[in-house]
Amino acid sequence: MAKRKPNKPRRKLTKEEQRLKAIYARSRREFSAADLQKYTVIEKGIPIEKVMADLEATHREFMRKRR
Give the per-residue pLDDT at 58: 95
Give the model confidence (pLDDT) of 9-67 as tens digits.
Answer: 888 989 999 999 999 999 999 999 888 888 888 888 889 999 999 999 999 999 998 87
Give the per-residue pLDDT at 6: 80
Give the per-residue pLDDT at 15: 95
Contact 19, 27 (CB under 8 A): no
For the cut 70, the answer to whether the pLDDT of residue 1 exceeds it is no
Max intra-chain CA distance, the chain: 76
Give the per-residue pLDDT at 42: 81
Contact 21, 13 (CB under 8 A): yes
Give the per-residue pLDDT at 17: 95
